[in-house]
Amino acid sequence: MDEDVTISRGAACSQFAVCFGRTHGMTAWKYMVLFVAVMFCAVTFGGAIDAHKTVTYHFAVTNTTDKPQTVESVRSSCACLKATGATSATLSPGGVLPFDVVFNPAGMEGHVEKRVWVTLAPSGRIATFNVAADVRLRLGFKPMDAAFGVIGRSDTGREIVAKLSGYEANGAKLGTPFLATKSTKDTKNVFDVRLGDDGKSLVVKFREKDVLPGLYSELWTIPTSDTEIPAILFPVSARVADAVAVTPQVITVGWDEPVCSRMVMVRDGNFSHKEHKVHKEEFQVLSAETKPRKWGDVKISQRPLNGWRIDIENIDPREVRQFSKRPFLEVKTNLPGMESFEIPLRVVQNGGAE
């Protein structure tokens, strides 16, 4: 088992000495860069992190000033980093503050860079921890879920194919998928999930047209022969609607594509439905916003025949690939029952693999 490694940069880090190490069950080192104010300390931990494991880094900040310093805030660039032991702590002159940062790379792959900011008062100094790692997937599906977006009840048979991926994919065998949980108490499954003919893929279909409009989600379990990942959880979701037609239902950008733009069209699909009191000429897209945080500039314009055009500009696929949560466009309308819905954004490689 690897021992923790602690490295102190002392005076090289301006007025704060910084120590850090790491704890994990793997032999691979991790990349990490630490900046304090305008000075920085750099230590490289080489190697790779498996996406299904967490890594804990140990840090310590020493107050080398002649005045007490208080940790005003600890922030991170994504939910994949959790800092503990540093909130509201006060350091007397010469005091040492140890704290841990847990990195959970679930859902990530490739080179990843994240940050943790520690703000000290009254000096106002900000210590910035840049965590860089090469995350590898042992076993999983691409795409990692089946998000159909907004679909009509007549769109039965529409399917999404997810391929088994990861460095253990060739030797792994998949068992029969089974439903773990679903969003409604209805006895019917809204989706059908089965193994592909190759035994290395999932074929997911929307199959149940006799459901009321609304958001439906199911979590499926796919058994595997892998010793470390005996089962893969696979989410499936769709917003079933009578009232709105959306094109495309999934926004797609290329893995290595430069900064780009995309367009979405939203129309009132059935303005005469008895449950909808909004007439065709009154249908409106009230807002559109990129989430879980900004990944593009949004512009909304009304088009002929009761259509609304949503342009998303300045999309940077390289930045989106760093997100720990699925990016999507949240659209709000004035239609009852469809006041808000989501359009997923996907970054795909050549050949369509995510």
In the block, residue with structure tokens 């999507």: 328
| Beta-bridge mates of residue 46 | none
More confidently predicted of 206 and 129:
206
End-to-end C-alpha distance for the chain, whole angstroms: 34
Rounded CA separation 267/23 (Å): 53
- The 10s digit of each residue's pLDDT in 179-233 is 988 776 555 788 999 999 999 999 999 887 777 777 889 999 999 999 999 999 9
pLDDT at 186: 59
Predicted confidence band at 94 (pLDDT cuts at 50, 70, 90)?
confident
Length of the chain: 354
The mean pLDDT value of the chain amounts to 77
Q: What is the 3-state secondary structure (H, E, C) of the chain?
A: CCCCCCEECHHHHCCEEEEEEEECCCCCCCEEEEEECCEEEEEECCCEEECCCCEEEEEEEEECCCCCEEEEEEEECCCCEEEECCCCCEECCCCEEEEEEEECCCCCCEEEEEEEEEEEECCCCEEEEEEEEEEECCCEEECCCEEEEEEECCCCCCEEEEEEECCCCCCCCECCCEEEEECCCCCCCCEEEEECCCCCEEEEEECCCCCCCEEEEEEEEEEECCCCCCEEEEEEEEEEECCEEEECCCEEEECCCCCEEEEEEEEECCCCCCCCCCCHHHCCEEEEEEECCCCCEEEEEEECCCEEEEEEEEECHHHHCCCCCCCEEEEEECCCCCCEEEEEEEEECCCCCC
In the block, residue with structure tokens 């000429």: 281
Six-digit token string for 241:
């609607």
Six-digit token string for 30:
């991790």
Cα-based distances in Å from 134 to 16, 105, 108, 213: 29, 10, 9, 42
Closest-CA residue to 45 (of 56, 61, 60): 56
Q: Exposed/middle/buried for 69, CB within 10 Å: 0-12, 13-18, 19+?
A: buried
- The 10s digit of each residue's pLDDT in 38-81 is 233 333 343 588 999 888 877 777 777 788 988 888 888 888 88
Closest-CA residue to 292 (of 80, 134, 104): 80
pLDDT at 162: 95
pLDDT at 59: 77
Q: Which residues contact 74 (CB under 8 A, 6 or more apart)?
A: 83, 86, 87, 99, 116, 117, 118, 119
| Residue pair 91/63 in contact by the 8 Å Cβ criterion | yes
Q: Is the pTM of this model over 0.75?
A: no
Rounded CA separation 180/196 (Å): 20
pLDDT at 179: 92
- The 10s digit of each residue's pLDDT in 235-283 is 999 888 766 778 887 899 988 889 999 999 888 765 444 444 444 457 8
HSE, side-chain direction, 13 A CA sphere, residue 63: 22
Domains, the chain = 7-136 (2.60.40.10), 152-241 (2.60.40), 242-354 (2.60.40.10)
| Residue pair 245/266 in contact by the 8 Å Cβ criterion | yes
* Mean pLDDT of all residues in 112-116: 83
In the block, residue with structure tokens 């020493």: 62
Rounded CA separation 83/128 (Å): 13
